[in-house]
Amino acid sequence: MGVNLLLGLQWGDEGKGKIVDVLTKDYDIIARFQGGPNAGHTLEFDGIKHVLHTIPSGIFHDKALNLVGNGVVIDPVIFKKELDNLEKFNLDYHSKLLISRKAHLILPTHRILDAVSEAAKGKAKIGSTLKGIGPTYMDKTGRNGIRVGDLELSDWKERYRALANKHEAMIDFYDAKIEYDLEELEKEFFIAIDTLKSLTFIDSEAYLHEAQRSGKTILAEGAQGSLLDIDFGTYPFVTSSNTTAAGACTGLGIAPNQIKEVFGIFKAYTTRVGSGPFPTELFDEDGETMGRVGNEFGATTGRSRRCGWLDLVALKYAVHVNGVTQLMMMKGDVLSGFNTLKICTAYKYQGKEITHFPYSIEPENVEPVYTEMKGWKEDLTKMSDESEFPDTLNAYIKFLEKELETPITIVSVGPDRKQTIHR
């Protein structure tokens, strides 16, 4: 049977939530493998838009079980808010949600540390979502973290206190002063912990191993995107986890030889939130149009996303690093009306033309080289079959398939579940 992976190939927000929701009917288990509430995954159906941060995007289906894997970092406070939202839709999440005992917890002081660390960086700030992601993964790799399974131990509150005290000393170390009321934050945190404890904690790697043995179908859901990967992204302007395919192995305990299909999702153009280099970024009317038509505002922070042309150098790199077997192209509808579409096929790197993704893509090193293609005028959002596609869209798709040597099996033409065309 094996495990299929679904992950973002750009700087996040490619539409992972939407596609996981579309695919869930074919799976028994949807398992999130990394990241935390820095993610915002949007799903739309029956005229309602849902945004999930930690909960896997299969939660709205009756059949599938949803697992929050060991590679995920959980903020109990945000998690509780997500659960409260589900209750509004009469959704019985208790029967469909499983939490790995090995997932790490984001403490209130992790969030504050994130804020003071960013403030101290000044102009060099990462543009973090300020959800405490970096400090929590630092405590994980520093072997100081508190895990979900610890909540079942009698001394966990003492361990919490010791870590929070240490964090307070670290916060004081920074010059940047941030007002906070830890007592208030802790009150909210401990209430949320009680809610978290009402869910089922499991040894998820054993559970997934057994699921594989008994022929269950598993889809692993990634967060962020390959260019935000801690190793392969545009460091230091990245997140603190492995967002690429290997992250699914460590984030769930899945063996590499069990991975079958790797679904790579990309937008027909490019966006990025937060700081960091972005060679094809547009500062003109075209970029403004993409942002407006594509409604490019962060699902977690509401910040406007920077927009630009599709970057094939970066996309090819992501296809290789992840071993993508099928591509899914999102938001082609947003490009309707452009006379000409540009695709970056190479970089001018320190005077030479290159097609691989180099160590640094800072503007002083890299200038994009573009190929131009004819755009399409047609509104794609009402289309339900590939046969309705304008020739220029078909040419765009064919060009990308050839360059990336990978088939595009889904073309998404709008945010709704139904606006999904299988090829």
Of 67, 219, 76, 200, nearest in space to 136 by CA: 76
Q: Which residue is nearest to ligand IMO (CB)?
A: 274
Burial of 141 (0-12, 13-18, 19+ CB in 10 A): exposed
Site stretch for ligand GDP (CB under 6 A), options 13-21, 60-68, 190-198, 203-211:
13-21
With CB cut-offs between 5 and 8 Å by kind, which of Mg ion, ligand IMO, ligand GDP, none does residue 140 bind?
none
Q: Is 58 in the site for ligand GDP (CB under 6 A)?
A: no
What residues from 98 to 137 belong to the interface with ligand IMO (CB under 6 A)?
A: 126-129, 131, 133-134
Of the pair 56, 368, the CB lying nearest ligand IMO is at 56
- For 242, the token pair is 């492995």
Smallest gap from residue 423 Cβ to ligand GDP (A): 14
- List the one residue from 80, 111, 272, 331 that touches ligand GDP (CB under 6 A): 331
Give the whole-angstrom CA distance, residue 251 versus residue 229: 13
**Cβ(404)–Cβ(317) below 8 Å:** no
Total residues interacting with ligand IMO, rule: CB under 6 A: 24
Q: Is 12 in the site for ligand IMO (CB under 6 A)?
A: yes
Burial of 389 (0-12, 13-18, 19+ CB in 10 A): buried
Q: Catalytic positions, please? A: 13, 41
Q: Is 14 in the site for ligand GDP (CB under 6 A)?
A: yes
Give the whole-angstrom CA distance, residue 317 versus residue 204: 31
Region of 405 (left: φ > 0; alpha: ψ -120 to 50; beta: rest) is left
Give the whole-angstrom CA distance, residue 186 versus residue 181: 9
x/- mask, Mg ion, residues 296-315, rule CB under 5 A, reads ---x----------------
Residue in this structure with the two tokens 């007002």, named with its chain if needed:
179
**What type of residue is 148?**
V
- For 156, the token pair is 């966990």
Q: How many helices (H) and strands (E) does the chain have?
A: 11, 20
Q: Is 286 in the site for ligand GDP (CB under 6 A)?
A: no
Site stretch for ligand GDP (CB under 6 A), options 5-13, 147-155, 185-193, 355-363:
5-13
Name the phi and psi angles at 205, rounded to 5.
-65, -40
**Cβ(311)–Cβ(398) below 8 Å:** no
Burial of 199 (0-12, 13-18, 19+ CB in 10 A): middle
Q: Is 412 in the site for ligand IMO (CB under 6 A)?
A: no
With CB cut-offs between 5 and 8 Å by kind, which of Mg ion, ligand IMO, ligand GDP, none does residue 127 bind?
ligand IMO
With CB cut-offs between 5 and 8 Å by kind, which of ligand IMO, Mg ion, ligand GDP, none does residue 228 bind?
ligand IMO
Q: Is 15 in the site for ligand GDP (CB under 6 A)?
A: yes
Q: Is 130 in the site for ligand GDP (CB under 6 A)?
A: no
Region of 118 (left: φ > 0; alpha: ψ -120 to 50; beta: rest) is alpha
Q: Is 308 in the site for ligand IMO (CB under 6 A)?
A: no
- For 407, the token pair is 């088939």
Site stretch for ligand GDP (CB under 6 A), options 39-47, 110-118, 278-286, 356-364:
39-47
Q: Is 13 in the site for Mg ion (CB under 5 A)?
A: yes
- List the one residue from 3, 5, 6, 8 that touches ligand GDP (CB under 6 A): 8
**Cβ(84)–Cβ(66) below 8 Å:** no
- For 68, the token pair is 């929050």
x/- mask, ligand IMO, residues 221-260, rule CB under 6 A, reads --xxx--x----------x---------------------
**Quick one: DSSP state of residue 350?**
T
With CB cut-offs between 5 and 8 Å by kind, which of Mg ion, ligand GDP, ligand IMO, none does residue 70 bind?
none
**Cβ(25)–Cβ(217) below 8 Å:** no
Q: Is 272 in the site for ligand GDP (CB under 6 A)?
A: no
**What type of residue is 22?**
V
Of the pair 106, 299, the CB lying nearest Mg ion is at 299
With CB cut-offs between 5 and 8 Å by kind, which of Mg ion, ligand IMO, ligand GDP, none does residue 274 bind?
ligand IMO
Q: Is 264 in the site for Mg ion (CB under 5 A)?
A: no
Contacts for 243 with CB less than 8 Å, ≥ 6 apart: 7, 8, 34, 35, 222, 223, 224, 225, 226, 228, 229, 230, 233
Smallest gap from residue 88 Cβ to ligand GDP (A): 19
Q: Name the site residues for ligand IMO (rule: CB under 6 A).
A: 8, 11-13, 35, 38-41, 126-129, 131, 133-134, 223-225, 228, 239, 273-274, 299
Contact footprint for ligand GDP (CB under 6 A): 8, 12-18, 39-42, 44, 294-295, 299, 330-331, 333-334, 412-415
